[in-house]
Structure formats: C-alpha cells, structure tokens
Amino acid sequence: MGFSTNLQGKIAHEALLTRQDAELRLIEGMKRCIHVKVKCDRDYAAALSSVASQGLKIDKGDDLVGSIVCSTWKTMMEEIENTAKLIKQNSDALETKALDALNALYVEKRKIRKAYQEEHTRILQQFNQLSEEVVRKKAEYQKYLEQYKLMRAKFEEIYIKGGRGGRKLDEVRDKYQKACRKLHLTHNEYVLLLCEAVEFEKDFRTVLLPGLLEYQQSLQETFILTWKQILQDIATNSDSTSDKFRECYNRIQLNIESIKPIDEYKDFTEKYKTNPAEPVKFTFDESLVDDQGGKLLPNQLTVDNLTVEWLRNKLTELESSIKENQEKRSTLTNNGHNGDNSLINGKTTTTNDTINNRLSLCIETSKKELNELKCQERKISKQIELIKAALNELGCEEAPSACDLSIDNQPAFIDSSTEEGAGSQNTLNKHLVNFDPHRLVSMLPRALRKPFRRRSVPSSPVAPPRTKNRRESATRSEGADPLSVTTNKSLVDEEWFHGVLPREEVVRLLREDGDFLVRETTRNDECQTVLSVCWGGHKHFIVQTTLEGHYRFEGPSFPTIRELIIYQYNSGLPVTQRSGAILYKPIPRERWELNNDDVILLDKIGRGNFGDVYRAQLKNSNEVVAVKTCRVTLPEEHKKKFLQEGRILKQYDHPNIVKLIGICVQKQPIMIVMELVPGGSLLTFLRKKVTSLVEAQLMKMCLDTAAGMRYLESKNCIHRDLAARNCLVGYSNIVKISDFGMSREEEEYIVSDGMKQIPIKWTAPEALNFGKYTSLCDVWSYGILCWEIFSRGGTPYVGMNNSKAREKIDSGYRMPAPENTPDEMYRLMLRCWEYKPENRPNFEQIYTVVETLFNAYRSTFC
C-alpha cells in the first residue's frame, strides 16, 4: 500500500502537488525560525557573557580573601560564561548544519517536485495523445466507410444499367476501387492503433504511473529521513539539559554545597583579630556653664518656669515609649515560641537543613531584637529617673523664674521710639505691648532656648513699630505705608491673598527675599491657610489655631488671620525663629487672577476632563466668555494639571490661539476664563457643514492651524493633543487652537507617569513607543488634523481599535487621502507622517507650503 496503488487519480495527483508545496512552505518557515533562534541564542549568549563579566568584577583587594561565598560566586560566573560559550557553539552549529541542511533540502525538494510534475505530465500527455488518435482514427474509419458504401452503390447502379463496358463504368470502377483501398488501409491502421492503445493503457495503469508514484514516494520518504535528521540536530543543539550543560551546573552545585557558614569568616576573623572596643566616655563640658553664676549645673536638669512644662511633657512621652517597648518585648517573645513550634510541627516539604537554618535565624533575630528593646528600655529608664528626680525636688511649689531681670529696667525690651514724659502706667503698657518673648529667649543659654508660649492672648494687640533691621529699601506694593489694621477688609479682599493658587504658581511669584503672599491649601480633607515667603528659598508656614479660636505662628495670637499677617509684616519679626523669615513685600494678585464673584455662570455648554464648561459673563465689562471649571473633589495633582493650561495661555497672544482672560483661584471651584469662540469645536463644525464646505475653506482651516502651531513652536511649546476636537471655530470661520491641558513649554518632554490618557491615533510613534515628545510630534498630529479637515470630520483609522492602528502604523501603513483632497495637500500629510521625526517638516516649513497652496488654489478656483 502506497503512492503507486492509492494516488493514481487526478484528485490524488493534485493533492500530492499541494502537499509538496505545503512542505516547501514549512521548510521556509523553519528556516526563518531557525534564523531567528540563532540570532536570539547569540544575543542570549552575549548577554550571559556580559553578566558573567560584570559578576567577575569584584573587589580584587584583600577584603574578600578566604571567602567561600566569593569563591563560589566566581565559579558560578565562570560557569555562566561557559554556558554562554556552549549556547554560542550550539547556535553556530544550528546555522552551519541545520540551516544549511534545510536550505539544501528546500532546493532539492523543489527540483524533485518539478521533475515529478514534468514526468507525470509527459506520461499523461502520451496517454491522452494516443487516446485522441484512436478517436480520430475511428472518425476517419467511419468517413471512409461512408465513401466506400456510396461508391459501391454507384458502381452497382451503373453496372446494372449499362452493362459491362463503357467509359463511365470505368470511372466509377476506379473511384470504387480507391474508396475500397482507403477503407481497408484505415481499417488496418485502426486495428493496429487499438492494439497499441490497449497495451499502452495497460502499461500506463500498471507500470508507468505506478512506477513514477513509487519512485516519488521513495524520494519523499528519503526527504523525510533527512528532515528528521535536521530536526534531531535542531533538538540536540537546543537542548539545555545535555551533559555539557549539566556539567556546568553540577560544578556550580558542588561549589554551593561547599559553603559552610562556620568556615566563611574563619580567615577574615583571623586576619583582622582585634581587642574589644574601649568604652567611650560622654561627659558634660563644664565650660558651657562657667558664666551662668551657678544657675545651670553640669549633669543636672534645670527646673524653672521655662522648662517645667517641657519636662512634664517629655516625661509623659518617655513613659509612653517605655510602655510601648514592653508590649513589643512581650509580643516578640510569644511570636518567637509560636514560630519555633510551627516550623518544627508544621506539614512542609522543606528539608531538615532548611528548617534548622530557619529556626536558627528566627532565634537569632528574636534575640537581636530583644537585646535592642532592652537597650532602648534602659536608655529611656535612665532619662525617666533623671526627670522624675528633678521634678520631685520641686514638689508642689511653683517653678522658679528662669531669669530675675526686671522688664522695667531692661532697655533691650524698650523701643527707642517710646515717647518721653509719658506716665509710668502708659510706659509700662507700651513696654508690655512691645515685649517680644523671642528676644528674651535669645538672651538665654542655648540649653534653655525652648519655644515660648504666651499664657494670655490680647484681643487686639497693637502692632509694634517697625525695627531698623528690616529691608527699608524694599519695594512695596501700591501705597508704601505699613499694612493697616483699621481698614474693614476681609482676608479675601486683600490683594496679597491668592486663594487656592497652587504652590507651583506661588513659587514663580515670590522672587526676592521677603516677598510673601497668603493662600489656601487642602491637606487630609482639611482646608488650611498658608503664609508663603521667599527667604533663602521658598518657605510655607501653616497658620496655627489656638484653643480660643485665634491664629498665630510662634508669637502672639490674633482674632483673624488678616490681623496676624499685618502684625507679622509691621513688626519686622521672623515668622519663626528657626526660619528667620521676615515679611518685606506683599505680592499682589496678577492681573489675570480674577475674583470668582466677578464671573457669572450662565449656562453649561460642554464638559471637559476636569469639569464642566460654561458660557459666562464678566460683571465689570459684561463681556460674554467661556469658563472651564475644575471639580472640587478632584485630587490636588489634577487641579495643578488643570491650571497648567491657564499658566501656558496667559503668555500667548496670537489670532489662532484661544485667548486667556483670567484664572479664578480665590475660592472653589477653580475656573479658567477664556474668550468665547462662537463656532464651537472644529470637529462638530466640520460634521455639521459637511455638504457646504468647499476645498478653499478647508485649506484655510489648515492654514490657520499651521499659523497657530508655528507660533507655539517659536515659543518652545509642545501641544501634545492637537486634533479637530481641540480646535475652535470663531467668526469668519477662523480656527483657534485650544485645550492646552497636556501642553509643555520645553524643546523636548519625556513622559514618566504612564500613557493612560494619550490620544493614540493622533500621537507620533516615538511618543507612543518611548514617551518622547518634541514639536515634531505635533507635526504628526497636524497631519492627522488635516486629514480630519479634508474628510470633513471623519474618524482616523476607521474600523481599527487603538492597538490595531498602532500596529499598522509601525508596519508602514498610512491612511489614504480623503475624497477630493488636493494631491499637494496629501503629500504634505504623508511628509508629516514620516516614521522618523527628523524627516518631518517643521511648522515654519509647513506654514510656507500651506500658504503657497492656499494662495494658488484661491487664485485658480475663486
């Protein structure tokens, strides 16, 4: 049973040819795969070799001499290098043996297939020709038989009528004889031809065709044997479990097993054997208290009205710490016993050595942590004893004064501007008002300088005169007088109150030391007021609230935050002693910082990523504007991104860029106020006017966007989201670029926070693949925008999802031109879609091309 008996039919012959074609394709596929495998194996071998080289770059000094782990590691790296060499050898063998053998097999198999097809065709044609000759000879036989019958009938007719003589009879007799001759010759030829056909058919069916098929089967099976050997070579050279690989890993395993923790540091310990560390003595430097007249004593806590409260609080804190320490010790002891039992009694497949190692490690870890906790407990206990002893000596008496200086006779606390001749009571009142606890603290020894806490809070303190150490030449905002407390203003009405302006914007406003402003922020869902000051950097102070509901920093407290800031400004005192920051110049709101109450929201006209978009009206000018709002519930990070658009737009002025009017940050919700562009989004406009827009108008839209993008390019602004949906249509169908929420003012921008909100079908390949944005990425998006315009609002890569579109783009696919798109415009789109960014035109070049096309188009058709 085989080819010779089972594959003689036509369908079987065609199936055999198809099978041979499929086998040829399989060989081609195998060749490609082997080629890729060879490359991958070589890359892997190179990577392993690099790893081994890196791993062998260990300290060559004496620091690791005698280390068994280091020796084992070197052996591992060397065996990894050997493994890399084996993989490289196998890949070379694959290329020189298997790949070459597959190439030879492919060539030979094609030859054999061709020879088989030609021989089968020759035999079949010979059989067909003989069959056709039999049919033809039979038709010829029938023809001559008819002629014979006709001539015989005529001869008999004339012979009967005319007798035996005559010319006519002779002619008929000749024709009759010729017809008889032809019939007999054809008869003989037909008989011989049939004999030949019978024999050939028998040979064709039993010898020729079976022989050809049997020969072909033999060749096919020979190829299969060769093929099998090739596959065996591939398998052999791909086998990472072969003896050579096992030898490498066996050597690694032997070295690993030689590691014994007890021997690892034997040489190291012997080499660096030293005596135990000498104790370090910490003693009080008595020179620190030599000039204190015996009030501060070495190694003794001082208890007075400045320190008693701090000591009590410290005692409470330490007692809490020692209690927490004792709870940790108890928990650790219990967990250690439970862990030991679980390791010993638990059902596990872990080896005894591993269990012993874990148990030993667990015990050592517990001992170490317990020792640390005991040390901490001893340290805390000593401090508690010291504090308790000092407080016990005080008993129930009131703590003594830390300083016996009288306020009345200390000129350091009296301002030189005090009026002479005033009554003693008035003088005392003024001195008390001008009393600054921080100056008192600065006179004390460093050990006693603790934050001062005022026990009584004046309801409306008078601001002390400005000190002379302030920056008198500092530029002030309008009105050079000190900030006034008499004006009946609220904090929100002050020009230096900037509402919820983000910290990043604040940093840009505060440029010189002493510049300050007040803002609000939200921390842990709690609204807090912050004083931001430029002082050797940017410092931000959260306004503290007292139990009485007043406000303070480190000094006195006030009923309102406004009064606190005015006091801090007029007094010239540091906000905190640690920062030293002094308020010199209040920074007013910028002209584009609008008050939320100046904007009247009319009706909702859309929805953005951060909130709703409204048509609104300005109170002062009655101008109708567009307002983007930011949802109050958004995280602070999103609010910063929302204001990014306003920060970028405020410095741009171009007819094809939507104009910023202002930003409202005085309170929530934050709003961006922009000019109202009546035509709405370009995408909606194109789809509504699909039948009425002519090519000249479409070209003008492309020119408008090119002009706007040329302007942004000159400002090093990367838009990152250029699309028809983010452009607006104004009066006379002028196009304005909008939606700068993703924009960046950089020549190059690398995305590092993921690509979740990237418009895939509008984004250049290098931005999608590497997160790298330049203005040339906007050029790619501009090409998509032009396609949208000429397709009158069509969807790019229609019928493809984002993944499919991205795959097609990487493979070289580009969208065909929309119907009726000028050839020059489509060529420009294709230039914008060059895969390599350096091959794309910049917007200066794009604008020149589109302007030339538009002018030529307008002069021709308009």
Binding residues for ATP, by number, are: 605-613, 628
The alpha carbon dihedral of 842, 843, 844, 845 has a sign of positive
State the CB neighbour count (10 A cutoff) for residue 409: 8
DSSP states along 603-626: EEEEE-SSSEEEEEEETTT--EEE
Tokens read off for 106: 């492919």
Does 267 participate in catalysis according to the annotation? no
Sheet containing strand 526-534, strands side by side: 538-542, 526-534, 515-523, 585-586
CA pair distance 139, 397, nearest whole angstrom: 149
* CB atoms near residue 626 (< 10 Å): 21
User: What does the CA dihedral 337, 340, 346, 350 come to, rounded to 10 degrees?
Assistant: 160
Tell me the HSE value of 305 on the side-chain side, using a 13 A CA sphere.
Answer: 11
Q: Are 105 and 227 in contact (CB under 8 A)?
A: yes
Q: Where are the beta strands (DSSP E) in 158-276?
A: none
Residues 194, 200: Cα–Cα separation, whole Å = 10
The residue to which tokens 């200066």 are assigned: 844
The single-letter DSSP state of residue 205 is I
How does DSSP classify residue 99? I
> Alpha carbon 185 to chain centroid distance?
94
Within 8 A by CB and 6+ apart from 403, the residues are 440, 443, 444
Which 3 state secondary structure label does DSSP give 848? Answer: helix
Which position among 515, 721, 739, 778 bears the catalytic label? 721
- CA–CA gap between residue 198 and residue 129 (Å, rounded): 13
Strands 515-523 and 585-586: parallel
| Residue 519 in tokens | 């803002």
Residue-wise burial string across 337-351, b where 16 or more C-beta atoms lie within 10 A, e elsewhere? eebeeebeeeeeeee
Alpha helices in 347-418, H assignment, sequence order: 352-394
CB pairs under 8 A, 24+ apart, for 231-237?
233/93, 233/94, 233/97, 233/98, 233/101, 234/34, 234/94, 234/98, 237/90, 237/91, 237/93, 237/94, 237/97, 237/98
* Contacts of 453 by beta carbon, 8 Å cutoff, 6+ apart: 309
Sign of the alpha-carbon dihedral angle for 781, 782, 787, 793 = positive
Query: What is the torsional sign of CA 668, 669, 672, 675?
Result: negative
Is 618 within 8 Å of 602 (Cβ atoms)? no
Helix (H) or strand (E) holding 40: helix 10-55
Residue 718 region, left (φ>0) first, then alpha (ψ -120 to 50), else beta? beta
Provide the terminal-to-terminal Cα distance of the chain, rounded to the nearest Å: 83
Cis peptide before 669 (omega within 30 of 0): yes
Binding residues: 605-613, 628
CA separation, residue 599 to residues 83, 88, 625, 644 (Å)? 73, 73, 9, 20
On the CB side of 94, CA atoms within 13 Å amount to 26
Q: Which residues are catalytic?
A: 721
